[in-house]
Amino acid sequence: MSDFTGLRALVTGGASGIGRATADLLAERGAQVAVLDLDPARVEKPLLGLRADVTDDASVRAAVTEAAEALGGLDILVNNAGIGAQGTVEDNDDTEWRHVFDVNVLGMVRTARACLPYLRRAATARPGTVAIVNTCSIAATAGLPQRALYSATKGAVYSLTLAMAADHVREGIRVNCVNPGTADTPWIGRLLDAAEDPAAERAALEARQPLGRLVSAAEVAGAIAYLAGPLSGATTGTALAVDGGMQGLRLRPAADR
Residues marked active site are found at: 150
Query: How far apart are CB 48 and ligand NAD at their closest, in Å?
Result: 15
What is the C-alpha separation between 23 and 43, in angstroms, rounded? 10
Sequence-distant (≥ 6) Cβ neighbours of residue 85 within 8 angstroms: 92, 96, 100, 147, 149, 150, 153
CA nearest to 80, candidates 150, 18, 4, 161:
18
What is the C-alpha separation between 103 and 153, in angstroms, rounded? 9
For ligand NAD, the closer of residues 128 and 198 by Cβ is 198
Query: How far apart are CB 76 and ligand NAD at their closest, in Å?
Result: 17
Query: How far apart are CB 124 and ligand NAD at their closest, in Å?
Result: 29
For ligand NAD, the closer of residues 63 and 123 by Cβ is 63
For ligand NAD, the closer of residues 130 and 239 by Cβ is 239
Query: How far apart are CB 256 and ligand NAD at their closest, in Å?
Result: 28
**Contact set with ligand NAD (CB under 6 A):** 12-13, 15-19, 37-39, 53-55, 80-83, 103, 107, 135, 137, 180, 182-183, 185-188
Sign of the torsion formed by the C-alpha atoms of 122, 73, 47 and 165: negative
What is the C-alpha separation between 30 and 19, in angstroms, rounded? 17
For ligand NAD, the closer of residues 80 and 141 by Cβ is 80
Distances in Å between the Cα of 148 and the Cα atoms of 46, 137, 177, 205 are: 38, 13, 20, 17
